[in-house]
Structure 1
Amino acid sequence: MKLFSFPQASLEKAIHKRVLTLPSPHREWFTERWAQKPYKKSFIENKAMPLVTLVAKGKTWDDETFAEAMAEWDATFYDAETEVLLPLVQGDGLLQLMQKNLPPERAQALIAKINTRRDAAAAAPASLKAAEPTID
């Protein structure tokens, strides 16, 4: 996916601002990982920046291009990451002007993608554990 040329420093600032308002268990989880340079870089490149691209370009792309970009965006989201990223779709802070003309069905598709990925990742280990034999 071609990334939108959005200033990374501004995105990091928006994420940091959102982290300050996270509820307790999510704040600690995310802050601990955000302090690690490899996680921070990966989060920006693989989760946050593609989301910004989809929000920014999603209002002008045709349905096929938008669906293709959504399919290319293969990321798994943890609860805390979802809490950080959802406001970027829902019209909070930094990206409000970009979100202004985003069709509601595309915003819902982005929210569903974030939530579905997280739910699928949470369900996978449980199903694997159920298949494991127990030793008495």
Structure 2
Amino acid sequence: MKLFSFPAAALEKAIHKRVLTLPPMHREWFTERWQQKPYKKSFVENKAMPLVTLIAKGKTWDDATFAEAMQEWDVTFYEAEAEVLRPLVQRDGLLQLMQKNLPAERAQALLDRLNTRRPAAVSAAPASAPATD
């Protein structure tokens, strides 16, 4: 049973609108993948829709239920994906009414989850960065 049903078409429209404002590097990366139907479906079902559900339900769930839902949402994000989804948590556009009573610590937990990077992206970063001792 679904606890929350948000129209996927409205979410896709919000994502598309956000893509237009991305920096060129992220826009190019995300647009290339977004045009592929399997990626688009996977992104909406596994990353965007669970985020919307956590926002909508996160303001009424108790701490244990919210923590359990966050634990079950086992995903990592590419930087461009996080840039697309971050405004959904930061009271921008589509979800403003849903976000209204979301506790700040839960919003921060969602933003922290968006900063979870794929291992390949993390391992590539130190190689290009100068070593600091």
Calculate the TM-score normalised by the size of structure 2. 0.89
Q: Give unmatched runs, 5+ long, in structure 2.
A: 128-133
Cα distance in 1 for residues equivalent to 2:53 and 2:39: 20
| Conserved 8 A contact 1:76-1:121 | no
| Conserved 8 A contact 2:89-2:107 | yes
Partner of residue 133, structure 1: none
Q: Going by fraction, where is helix more abundant, 1 or 2?
A: 1
| Conserved 8 A contact 1:3-1:49 | no
Deviations 1:60-96 (A, max 9, x none): 0000000000000011100100000000000110000
| Conserved 8 A contact 2:76-2:118 | no
Once the two structures are TM-superposed, the CA of residue 120 in structure 1 deviates from its matched residue by 5.1
Partner of residue 18, structure 1: 18
Partner of residue 63, structure 2: 63
Partner of residue 76, structure 1: 76
Partner of residue 45, structure 2: 45
CA distance 1:82–1:67, change in 2 (3 Å): same
Partner of residue 27, structure 1: 27
Q: Give unmatched runs, 5+ long, in structure 1.
A: 131-136
How many percent of aligned residue pairs carry the same amino acid? 80
Calculate the TM-score normalised by the size of structure 1. 0.87
> Which amino acid is the alignment partner of residue 62 of structure 2?
D
Larger Rg: 1
Once the two structures are TM-superposed, the CA of residue 50 in structure 1 deviates from its matched residue by 0.3
- SS of 1:118's equivalent? coil
Deviations 1:8-57 (A, max 9, x none): 00000000000000010000000000000000000000000000000000
Once the two structures are TM-superposed, the CA of residue 122 in structure 1 deviates from its matched residue by 2.5
| Conserved 8 A contact 1:29-1:80 | yes
Cα distance in 2 for residues equivalent to 1:40 and 1:101: 29
Once the two structures are TM-superposed, the CA of residue 4 in structure 1 deviates from its matched residue by 2.0
Partner of residue 123, structure 1: 122
Partner of residue 99, structure 1: 99
CA distance 1:36–1:3, change in 2 (3 Å): farther
How many aligned positions are there?
127
